[in-house]
Chains A and B, each alone.
Chain A
């Protein structure tokens, strides 16, 4: 197969083009074009709108510390959602992300406390993450079950290992630079920005390039759009799944390391809030849960929207229940507009 073989529908612009190809003069043509453009542009609009609302309603919000804090929280969510985006675009989902985050947090804090060298710890975590991702992918292929099931099973296995390892009476330690990398007052060399934000920015560029400019990236879209057609088109389905689930586990492991620096303690449950948040960020960004459409740039916006909305609601005094209520309403409103589009497979 050549590098250009499997190409599938990817992002919003293709929907706009379809609407624009309607016969000229049709009464609903302009409406369709406007609706398609508006739906596609919603995340891009919401990010600045929510920021402006925060500046208006929260006195003193327009400050470096507030913006850095917002970006740190967005980075943690954004990085943990990176792999989730790929698995969803490929037509799957990864429910093991919180467990992998927890295991990684436990490993880095405990092994560093036991004076292991950091490069060795990171290598061990990376190897373990790739193993977890590979097992999830291969199990899905061999057992012919949706990744919802295999990653849920993997989540239970990994959680069990993390709980057994931590055993409730453990000590942990993290290097100072790791704490600084997720601290509002942290720096990256001479740059007065904590490292996690820079890692997220670089990771985002690489993820977008990976998904749009590489063969495996395009195969990911093809597989998510129509798995049967993809196989007939000689898309390397198993390999694609191994790659996306390994990337997902690697990203979760990286977030676990950053969260170890953030809270400083070994905590097997540290990843639990990311169970729904990663899916929320992906969905709010506009990536279809049906697969084959969307992309990581949209998830970056989704992560920013979730962090901005939560910060805004905290700032104006809403409690956790109202925050969840607001996020729920936003998810329903946005996905109902995205959801009006057909699954890619149905359009081919």
Chain B
């Protein structure tokens, strides 16, 4: 593991495993590359955003004759079995590179092996417990820990918390909850007064928060533990109920979060930009390096999540963003650092002339 990357692997062993790179014998295809995507839920705005970013980058590659313009996308609608068969069909149908959003850490192991045999490069954007795929992601535990720790610090380690969790049963959701709980240790002044799922969906989180408020009329909320894309929705529910807004750490880096931060700078204790476009860019960056013959030592490449600071906030925020915006900020401020960071993982091969950027 490169020395400059070790901090981003501090807690990864808590929810996934590391293996050596299994693509040592991968032979890059000649001619335009056929890119495909297998996603588990296209209804999710985040996954839609990733696909949009991939489409934009592939269009640029196709213009230079380096990719086929037809980008195949398959959606399994949260069915693991369906996604396994879809991944299999993509491997069989001549895809050279497959980007994978998976919601199971173990279900795809056989297909990863199958892909290696067929000389197909599978880049997983989510953690897995098996070898034979290249995972490009970030340390979910560390990110969640930092978000929670900064929230608690912003509350002076005193007050009532609402905890809004992701989709029950999904590894990332459990990891985020574990990290938020761990960050609370040693601070008895903090109390979780409500914990419920918002399923990483703003409207669900808002309805659940409204129900919680209705059933807890006398309890003040001082902070919101947002475990992904639900913090502003919970704040909206508080506002619509005539309650004071609470402190929150935000991690999605989308337009509504940036607008909320702009309007309520004293309430947002920490912010990261876990947006889809930087993730898609990092995955494409790794794919292009491997296609150029470069090789990483590990099968799992973790990158630090970028995020706006007080000094760089205006690089992300634009004046047309509102708390009703469902867009993502431009990823461009984050991209040079990602390219530079990923370079340390690779050896051999040829240099990639340029990495296309999402628009």
Question: Is B206 part of the binding interface, using a Cβ–Cβ cutoff of 8 Å?
Answer: yes
Q: A65-B242, A263-B202, A320-B196 are in contact. Are A163 and B217 (CB under 8 A)?
A: no
Beta-carbon contacts under 8 Å, B234-291 to A: 236, 240-242, 255-256, 276
Q: Is B58 an interface residue (CB 8 A)?
A: no
The reply to whether the CB of A129 lies closer than 8 angstroms to some CB of chain B is no
We find that the number of chain B residues with CB closer than 8 angstroms to chain A is 48
The chain A residue with its CB closest to the CB of B324 is: A264
**Chain A residues with CB below 8 A from B214, complex form:** 61, 65-66, 69-70, 73, 311
* Smallest Cβ-Cβ distance to A159: which chain B residue: B43
Contacts known (A163-B42, A173-B324, A268-B43); A65 close to B210, Cβ less than 8 A: no
- Which of A70, A263, A266, A315 lies at the interface centre, i.e. has the most chain B CB atoms within 10 A of its CB? A263
Q: Which residues on the A side are within 8 Å of B43 (C-beta)?
A: 159, 163, 268-269, 272
Quick one: CB contact mask for A118-144 with B, threshold 8 Å, 1 for yes?
A: 000000000000000000000000000
**B207 close to A273 (CB less than 8 A):** yes
The answer to whether B320 has its CB under 8 Å from any CB of chain A is: yes
| Interface pair A169/B49, CB less than 8 Å apart | yes
Which residue on A lies nearest to B50, using beta carbons?
A: A168
Interface of A, secondary structure class, is loop
**Is there an interface contact between B206 and A69, defined as CB atoms closer than 8 Å?**
no
Do B203 and A184 touch across chains, with their CB atoms under 8 A apart?
no
> Which residues of the other chain, B, contact A265 by a CB distance below 8 angstroms?
202-203, 256, 324-326
Residues of A within 8 A of B46 (CB): 168
Is A16 an interface residue when CB atoms closer than 8 A count as contact? no
Whether A166 sits at the interface, judged by CB under 8 Å, is yes
Q: Which residue of B lies closest to A269 (CB)?
A: B43
Q: Is A4 an interface residue (CB 8 A)?
A: no
By the criterion CB–CB under 8 Å, are A65 and B196 in contact? no
Q: How far is the CA of A298 from the CA of B242 in the complex (A)?
A: 32
Encode A304-320 as 1/0 by CB contact (under 8 A) with B.
00000011101100011
The segment from A6-14, A52-60, A216-224, A332-340 found at the interface with B is: A52-60
> Considering the complex, which residues of chain B in the window 32-64 have a beta carbon less than 8 Å from any beta carbon of chain A?
42-52
Enumerate chain B residues within 8 angstroms of A2, measured Cβ to Cβ: none
A183 within 8 A of B: yes
Q: Does B342 contact A (CB under 8 A)?
A: no
Q: Is B8 an interface residue (CB 8 A)?
A: no
| Interchain CA distance A66-B241 in the complex, whole Å | 9
Any chain A CB within 8 A of the CB of B303? no
Main secondary structure of the interface of B (DSSP, over half): helix
Question: Nearest Cβ in chain A — how far from B316, in angstroms?
Answer: 15
Taking CB atoms, residues of chain B closer than 8 Å to A72 are 210
Contacts A73-B211, A314-B211, A319-B195 known; A267 to B322 CB distance under 8 Å?
Answer: no
B190-239, CB < 8 A from A:
195-197, 201-204, 206-208, 210-218, 233, 236
Q: Does A244 lie at the interface of the complex (its beta carbon under 8 Å from any beta carbon of B)?
A: no
Known contacts A185-B241, A320-B197, A172 near B326 by CB under 8 Å: yes
Contact with A61, one of B44, B48, B215 (Cβ below 8 angstroms): B215
Chain B residues whose C-beta falls within 8 Å of the C-beta of A167 in the assembled complex: 48, 52
A182 at the interface (CB under 8 A from B): yes
State whether the Cβ of B109 lies closer than 8 Å to any Cβ in chain A: no
Chain B residues near A321: list those with CB within 8 A. Answer: 168
Tell me whether B5 is interfacial, beta carbon within 8 Å.
Answer: no
CB–CB A269/B207 < 8 A: no
Q: Assess the A169–B240 pair: CB atoms within 8 A.
A: no
* Docked-complex contact B241 and A163, CB < 8 angstroms: no
Say whether B241 contacts A184, CB under 8 Å.
yes
Q: Given A169-B328, A269-B43, A273-B204, are A183 and B218 neighbors across the interface (CB < 8 Å)? A: no
A60 vs B217: C-alpha distance in the bound complex, in angstroms?
A: 6
Interface residue A174 (Cβ < 8 Å from any Cβ of B): yes
The proximity string for B residues 160-200 relative to A, scoring 1 for CB distances below 8 Å and 0 otherwise, is: 00000000100000000000000000000000000111000
Contact of A311 among B50, B211, B326 (CB under 8 A): B211
Residues of B within 8 A of A (CB): 42-52, 168, 195-197, 201-204, 206-208, 210-218, 233, 236, 240-242, 255-256, 276, 320-328
Sample of 29 A–B contacts (CB below 8 Å): A58-B216, A59-B218, A61-B214, A65-B214, A65-B217, A65-B241, A65-B242, A66-B215, A73-B214, A168-B46, A168-B49, A168-B51, A169-B52, A170-B326, A171-B322, A172-B325, A172-B326, A173-B322, A174-B324, A179-B240, A183-B241, A184-B210, A259-B203, A262-B206, A264-B324, A268-B43, A269-B44, A319-B195, A320-B197
